[in-house]
Amino acid sequence: MQTDIINGRPTVQGLSIIDFHLHFRMPHDPLTRSLAGGQFGPDGGADDRSGCEDYDAGQAARSAAVARTSAQWRRSWDFADPEPLSADAGWEAEADRWTRELADNGIEHASFVTAGGNDAMVDLVARGAGKFLGLAAMADPFAPGAAREFENAVARGLRGLKLFAPLASSRMDDPAADPVWDVASRRNVPVLIHFGHCGSAGGIAQNAYSNPASLERAAKRYPEVTFVIPHFGIQHVQEVLFLMWACPNVVVDTSGSNQWVRYMAQRLTLEDLFRRFYETMGSERIIFGSDSSWFPRGFARRYLVDQLRICWEMGMPAAGIQQVFGGNAARLLKLDGWRPASAGPSGAGTHADA
């Protein structure tokens, strides 16, 4: 990967890169570990039928099958197995490891979307010394005190909210979530909502709340709030495209391997996704993310390289590519004064552009 320093700042292929979507200490975070399938080994959570001999045997067989699927996925992408929990050296050591990892890969800023709680995220951002940005995260925006929790997190410097629709207790257009959207509106921060299948192998395939079409009424009630749908909406590509047609305040991020395309009934590739969203929505509504999470893989540079290659080969202008891989994230995350390294040093008081 071609990295360089331009005007004192890291670049990749001459572009300033902001990764909008990473996870910190995913194996240690109850919110994300519960979605990981066999990626980090058996979850070990309690279940109403636990203790039933046949059930326990079935669960053991299921866990083994899920672990094999995750291992096959890692092998196909040439990713090493996650480090065992016994090798953990603490969150500070892992944060410092991320600082080095981002520097080695030419990434200017990284926005972590989960970190094991909002207190942990605030600590992570502080340790990143300007390199790290962070979002608040919660399992359910309908839970008592959710809006207050979000407000407090933003007041402490977090720059948006991460939700998993399949974990929620109601649809995202339920007005009971309006107090949470009120905070996003008042604070002018984005809301990142995962729809579609959730987690790695063995995760949630679908449920009553996992379709992004359920966001439409809320997005129209709050046109000033930017709602970000990660991973191009996963299996709900059609719904996301029409949702974006109906709601200009809905955008997508590109994060992850996007290997879910293999499970679609019709042939679909990552290049198809980029072309369709770019042709219909433009570069200003697409945001790069890597979905990087665990070590020793660290920053998933292959995802960045593959996505850059697709954008260059499809003829996207350089200015549009810089929007996708930096400018859009800088604007949403309110990196005041940010501009690409190729444009010269960033200056305070100007707005993020591409």
In the predicted model, is pLDDT for residue 28 greater than 50? yes
Q: How confident is the model at residue 47 (pLDDT cuts 50, 70, 90)?
A: low
In the predicted model, is pLDDT for residue 36 greater than 90? no
In the predicted model, is pLDDT for residue 223 greater than 60? yes
User: What's residue 200's pLDDT?
Assistant: 75
In the predicted model, is pLDDT for residue 346 greater than 90? no
- Identify the three-state secondary structure at position 134: strand
Rounded to whole angstroms, how far apart are CA atoms 134 and 257?
A: 22
Rounded to whole angstroms, how far apart are CA atoms 311 and 184?
A: 31
User: What's residue 46's pLDDT?
Assistant: 46
Q: How confident is the model at residue 353 (pLDDT cuts 50, 70, 90)?
A: very low
- Residue range 248-266, pLDDT digits in tens: 999 999 999 999 999 999 9
Q: What is the mean pLDDT of residues 290-302?
A: 96
Rounded to whole angstroms, how far apart are CA atoms 262 and 258?
A: 9
User: What's residue 351's pLDDT?
Assistant: 36
The rounded mean pLDDT for the chain is: 91
pLDDT more than 90, % of the chain: 79
Q: How confident is the model at residue 345 (pLDDT cuts 50, 70, 90)?
A: low
Q: Which of 90, 110, 88 is nearest to 99 (CA)?
A: 110
User: What's residue 198's pLDDT?
Assistant: 83
Q: What is the mean pLDDT of residues 206-215?
A: 94
With beta carbons less than 8 A apart as the criterion, state whether 295 and 338 touch: no
User: What's residue 55's pLDDT?
Assistant: 66
In the predicted model, is pLDDT for residue 152 greater than 50? yes
Q: How confident is the model at residue 100 (pLDDT cuts 50, 70, 90)?
A: very high
Rounded to whole angstroms, how far apart are CA atoms 305 and 2?
A: 9
Of the ranges 197-211, 229-243, 332-346, the best mean pLDDT one: 229-243
- Residue range 101-128, pLDDT digits in tens: 999 999 999 999 999 999 999 999 999 9
> Residue 99's Cα: distance from chain center in Å?
18
Q: What is the mean pLDDT of residues 329-346?
A: 91
- Residue range 55-82, pLDDT digits in tens: 677 878 888 888 888 888 889 989 999 9
Enumerate the β-bridge partners of residue 227: 191, 250
Q: What is the mean pLDDT of residues 207-224?
A: 96
